[in-house]
Amino acid sequence: MDVTVFAQQIANGLVNGMAYVLIATGLTLVFGVLRIVNFAHGEFYMLGAYITYFVGTLLGIDYLAAAAIAAVVVAALGIAANKLIFWPLRRDHEFTILLSSLGLALLISNGGELLFGADPKYVDSPFADEVLDIGAITLTQQRVLVFAAAVVALIGVYLFLRYSRFGKMMRATAQNPDGAALTGINIKLVHGYTFALACGLAALAGALVGPTVMIFPTIGNWAVLKGFIVVIMGGLGSVTGALFAGLLLGVIESLGGGYISLGFMEAIGYAMIIVVLLWRPNGLFSTARGLR
């Protein structure tokens, strides 16, 4: 086995995996706190990429600032989506909520096709084509940025959940919604902010991954699929689980594609879900319930 190629595939997998983690963290937060399986999560990833593109090309703002703007704008859109759709439906049947999130996903992706056009676009980043040689491994600056920014964002999320007053309110709501309400936690506010955080993270992922690929209005499908694989593997509602599961998926896909077959790469995610569900039905890292 060629050590250089092996190391390169591991590095490729870790970068892809970190992007999955960023997508999945928001998905798992929304599930943990709001008990919503949000099929529209990938669309916020798509919007993040497109807003970065348009802010960059139309307003001439540089890439990093555009990415930050995209995350903030999409976070606001997340608050709006929660206020208009999910909060009013919170006492409805789970199935109604599930269908509404599917409906929202279709609405955003079709709306995106109308608004942005179906042709692919490229999010320009000054780091996209700059190649870094790290020992035997070759990565672009953009891919290093994907990894580094995701690590920083995730550490931020961890500290926020662990130590901030709002993070404690979110954890309390996830662990016992009625108990949280009777403790004086404003549940509506917590739901709104959780959605903002989740959608902001999805948008950040879109803005970061955007320059490594091409974007088109249906990339949300890809994002939500990867997100779900990671969340199911890591355990619904588990942030730590999403971290390990995401990196694991990235590396296994990369090694599977590299040493078995590329055709197998897509199947790996599903195969891993089946194995995990058979072996540990609640996911690799989950206890019965609660945000960790």
For other proteins, the binding residues (CB under 8 A) are: 2, 4-5, 8-9, 12-13, 16, 118-122, 124, 128-129, 131, 133, 138, 140, 143, 165, 168-169, 171-172, 175-176, 178-188, 212-214, 216, 219, 222, 253-254, 257-258, 262-263, 265-266, 290-292
> Least distance (Å) from other proteins to the CB of residue 177?
9
Kindly tell me which of 182 and 278 has the beta carbon lying closer to other proteins: 182
> Least distance (Å) from other proteins to the CB of residue 291?
8
Kindly tell me which of 26 and 217 has the beta carbon lying closer to other proteins: 217
Kindly tell me which of 88 and 179 has the beta carbon lying closer to other proteins: 179
Kindly tell me which of 73 and 228 has the beta carbon lying closer to other proteins: 228
**Which single residue is written with the structure tokens 């190649």?**
131
> Least distance (Å) from other proteins to the CB of residue 5?
5
> Least distance (Å) from other proteins to the CB of residue 238?
11
- Residue type at 186 in one-letter notation: N
Phi-psi region of 225 (alpha: psi -120 to 50; beta: other; left: phi over 0): alpha
Residues in CB range of 249: below 8 A, 6 or more apart: 17, 20, 226, 229, 230, 233, 268, 269, 272
What is d(CA 31, CA 37) in angstroms, rounded to the nearest whole number? 6
> Least distance (Å) from other proteins to the CB of residue 199?
21
What is d(CA 44, CA 75) in angstroms, rounded to the nearest whole number? 9
Kindly tell me which of 162 and 280 has the beta carbon lying closer to other proteins: 162
